[in-house]
């Protein structure tokens, strides 16, 4: 299932910080799965390159509601930790270590 036009508009408002995550959740039941999340994250590449604006990637990666298995979450972190087009590397590495480090 794809993303409705209404959800696209709300995602844009969330990324532009015009609505809070609480408002977003009130206005839609949208929850990204792995495929949709990856698609949305890769769509931010041109915006980051053109405007040096990382807010969209940051909002999608950290704040957009998502439903991912532990394995899918790990795969997303690994894939986007290696990408050079965004500015979330330090935050991602720290979160990755916190979530996935099994050395206790």
Summarised one tens digit per residue, pLDDT across range 46-99 is: 777 777 777 888 888 889 999 999 899 889 888 888 877 666 667 767 766 666
Considering the domain boundaries, does residue 7 fall inside one? no
C-alpha 101/C-alpha 96 separation (Å) is 7
Which range of residues forms the domain containing residue 89?
A: 32-100
Whether the model clears a pTM of 0.85, i.e. scores above it, the answer is: no
**Cβ within 8 Å of residue 91, ≥6 positions away:** 62
In degrees and rounded to multiples of 5, residue 66 shows phi and psi of: -145, 155
Query: Is residue 49 domain-resident?
Result: yes
Question: How many domains does the chain contain in total?
Answer: 1
91 domain residue, yes or no: yes
Asked, for residue 13, whether it belongs to a domain, the answer is no
State the Rg of the chain over Cα.
Answer: 14
Separation CA 15–CA 94 (nearest Å)? 22
């Amino acid at each position: 299932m794809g993303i409705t036009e209404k959800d696209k508009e709300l995602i844009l408002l969330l990324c532009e910080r015009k609505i809070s995550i609480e408002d977003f959740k009130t206005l839609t039941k949208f929850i990204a799965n792995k495929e949709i999340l990856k698609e949305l994250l890769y769509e931010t590449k041109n915006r980051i390159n053109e405007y040096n604006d990382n807010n969209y990637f940051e909002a999608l990666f950290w704040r957009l509601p998502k439903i991912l298995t532990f394995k899918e979450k790990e795969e997303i972190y690994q894939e986007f930790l290696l990408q050079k087009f965004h500015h979330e590397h330090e935050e991602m590495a720290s979160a990755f270590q916190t979530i996935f480090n099994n050395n206790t």
